[in-house]
A and B are shown apart, each in its own frame.
Chain A
Amino acid sequence: MSTIRDLPDTAAPTVRAGDPPRRVTPAQWAGQSVTMAWRSIVQIKHNPSELLDLSIQPIMFVLLFTFVFGGAISGSADDYLQFALGGLIAQNALFLTIYTATGLATDLQKGTFDRFRSLPIARSAPLTGRILGDVLRQLWSLVVLLAIGVVLGFRITTSPLAVVAAFGLLVAFSVAFSWTSVLLGVLARDPEKVQIYGFTVLFPLTFASNAFAPTRTMPGWLQAWVSINPVSRMADALRGLLVGGPVAANAVATLLWGVAFAAVFGPLAVWALRTRV
């Protein structure tokens, strides 16, 4: 027996032969992120309510604000739409970031995240894929909002390039802001809690802004906050890019806010992912 055992046994499976690579390459990481993004988009196919969220809800906001408040705020629904669509786009973009948190919380709750972490893929791929998918949702919503706006009489008075820039700004801020959503998703671990906590923060943040109404009639203390609120700054930047007006200062302020959110919540989210998952 011993002589047989001393011989190398080529038939036996051995995990030693041809050790797998130690880490993923950047190209693999990119591919894995795209696959994860594909997954987050395919999910919509089987969950039609999300498609409604992504389409009907923004349309409803536009219709309600334009026809219910429009006349009272701006004198005519037409004028109001020209003012408010930039704000509605900003508000909608922020609301969409909740998907990052609900998706992550669902994955954590159901054990899907464990499965991903047990695979030989980049650690960040589930996250980058999710965010990539959310960027596509942002694009879809922007198209829906602009389309309903145009149907109701909204006129883009700038250039196609400015519209692209508006989308770029939207995505840049949303991705940076998504870190808060990642943190929320990891800490809450429950999509329903995410909705509750998330909107508790997002409603005051988006409504205490100049997104839907000019600041003139607001009390002084509120005006002070509204003027620096990132939603106001982004709404103004989007107005500038879509219907004309000052852009640079507002865009810079929006991006600085994005950097601030990412700088504070990025490390916290990474810490939470490392220690709480």
Chain B
Amino acid sequence: MLSIRTDVRGRDGPGAEMSMTTVGPLCHGVGVPPAIEAEGLVKRFGATTALAGASLSAAEGTVLGVLGPNGAGKTTATRVLATLLTPDEGRALVGGHDVLVEPHRVRSLIGLTGQYAGVDEALTGTENLVLIARLLGQRRGAARARAAELLEQFGLTDAGGRAARTYSGGMRRRLDLAASLVGRPRILFLDEPTTGLDPASRNELWGMVRTLTDDGVTVLLTTQYLEEADQLADDIVVIDRGAVVATGTPDDLKARAGAAVLQMRPTAPEQVPIVARVAGEVAGAAPTVEQGTVSVPAGDEALMPAVVRRLDDVGVRLAELTLRRATLDEVFLALTGHRAVTQDDAKEAV
């Protein structure tokens, strides 16, 4: 299995070097050890294998996106790393501490926003935050001040005195995120933080995550959406059925899976096989044909003009030519060889 080691990084800068090596993630190189590293995690629930030997690693101050369909094992992995669940096999270090040997130390360093909002709905926003601050040993005055500061930061000041039960989904998520930040964690776990949020709230949350990483916080974020991982993550781990099927930077993965898809429909339907053959040859990937339309992964920008030129040479006229973004489904198909669970399936399973 491949692992990614990113020693120094800037989001897009030259420091974002990436090496594909077979060195296990638990072998430290020179420099700062990764904030999160897990190797060979296995977790079974009865007959279900939720984690089948997953390994991952996040350098300090970066965002690691864990991308996978519903049931892939994202929550299970997060819970293992957040010391909530004991793995059957494998090892995990968080902040340099083994989650099994020194769970209390790990808990002192992390913040967790679980898939299901962990706020106490019977308490107000302020009380929720004061509760966490008091549990972390802050004095009453300091706790109230920290609560007020976070409410302000998350735009909840006006709602601070209302029971969280009355909050909208987006407000509850924000309060949940605020609660996980009370102790100023160095490492933050966000399990599907934007699932079920409207686009505006989602964008807001993305902005908050970026602010955190600017402050040097390491974030592990799970998501079902390629776009979200693309927007936020420095590195992405794609998991499927409990195993890592691909790792890399967003650009790297998109290049492998076909960031974009070139779609062509010839004017004459009988020319579909010719289009498929030509496009396949030029793209160097298997084309898919559906209802008279040929699609190929478009790895780089030069593909479209190249294909168009070749088709022109063989006398094919196109009625339609589109370059569109790959869907998560297509990325999955490319990476795993089988289709990802669709959104509708995901909703039913929830």
Contact = CB atoms under 8 A, between A and B. Distances in A.
A31 B137 contact: yes
Contacts of A115: 112, 114, 118-119, 132, 179-180
A113 B85 CA distance: 13
A209 B60 CA distance: 63
A114 B118 contact: yes
Nearest to A103: B122
A15 B109 contact: yes
B109 to A, nearest CB: 6
B187 A15 contact: yes
B296 interface: no
B159 interface: no
Nearest to B104: A23
Contact of B104 (A14, A24, A47): A24
B35 interface: yes
Interface string A103-136: 0000100111111111111000100000000000
A216 interface: no
B-side interface size class:
35 or more
Contact of B107 (A15, A16, A119): A119
Contacts of B118: 110-115
Given A42-B123, A120-B136, A13 B60 contact: yes
Contacts of B1: none
Contacts of B97: 19
A112 B32 contact: no
B275 to A, nearest CB: 50
B82 A118 contact: yes
Contacts of B234: none
Nearest to A31: B137
Nearest to A9: B32
Contacts of B82: 114, 118
A111 B109 contact: no
A109 to B, nearest CB: 8
Interface in A32-53: 32, 35-36, 38-39, 42-43, 46-47
A219 interface: no
A-side interface size class:
35 or more
A200 to B, nearest CB: 25
Contacts of A158: none
A21 interface: yes
A118 B216 contact: no
Classify the interface of chain B: helix, strand, loop or mixed.
loop
A22 B104 contact: yes
B230 interface: no
A111 B115 CA distance: 8
A229 to B, nearest CB: 34
B83 A117 contact: yes
A111 B114 contact: yes
Contact of B122 (A12, A23, A28, A46): A46
Contacts of B107: 118-121
A73 B153 CA distance: 64
A35 B102 contact: no
B131 interface: yes
A46 B116 contact: no
A19 to B, nearest CB: 6
A242 B186 CA distance: 57
B62 interface: no
Contact of A42 (B33, B127, B216): B127
Most A-side CB within 10 Å, residue of B30, B102, B108: B108
A125 B132 CA distance: 13
Given A22-B105, A46-B165, A118 B96 contact: no
B87 to A, nearest CB: 14
Contacts of B31: 5
B228 interface: no
Interface string B176-200: 0001100100110100000000000
Contacts of A107: 120
Contacts of A75: none
B124 interface: yes
A122 to B, nearest CB: 9
A110 B165 CA distance: 11
A18 to B, nearest CB: 10
A252 to B, nearest CB: 39
Most B-side CB within 10 Å, residue of A12, A118, A119: A118
B164 to A, nearest CB: 9
Nearest to A277: B84
Contact of A13 (B114, B186, B189): B186
Contact of B102 (A22, A31, A32): A22
Contact of B119 (A15, A46, A112): A112
B143 to A, nearest CB: 10
27 contacts: A5-B8, A13-B60, A14-B32, A15-B95, A15-B186, A19-B97, A19-B105, A21-B104, A21-B105, A22-B105, A35-B131, A43-B120, A46-B123, A46-B165, A107-B120, A110-B116, A110-B119, A110-B120, A110-B121, A111-B116, A111-B117, A114-B79, A114-B114, A114-B118, A120-B107, A121-B136, A125-B135
Given A43-B123, A110-B120, A111-B116, 10 more contacts: A15-B187, A31-B134, A38-B131, A42-B122, A46-B123, A110-B119, A110-B121, A111-B114, A118-B112, A118-B189
For the complex of A and B, 8 pairs with smallest distance between CB atoms: A115-B118, A20-B108, A111-B116, A118-B112, A15-B95, A111-B118, A120-B108, A43-B122
Interface of A: 5, 12-16, 19-24, 28, 31-32, 35-36, 38-39, 42-43, 46-47, 107, 110-121, 125
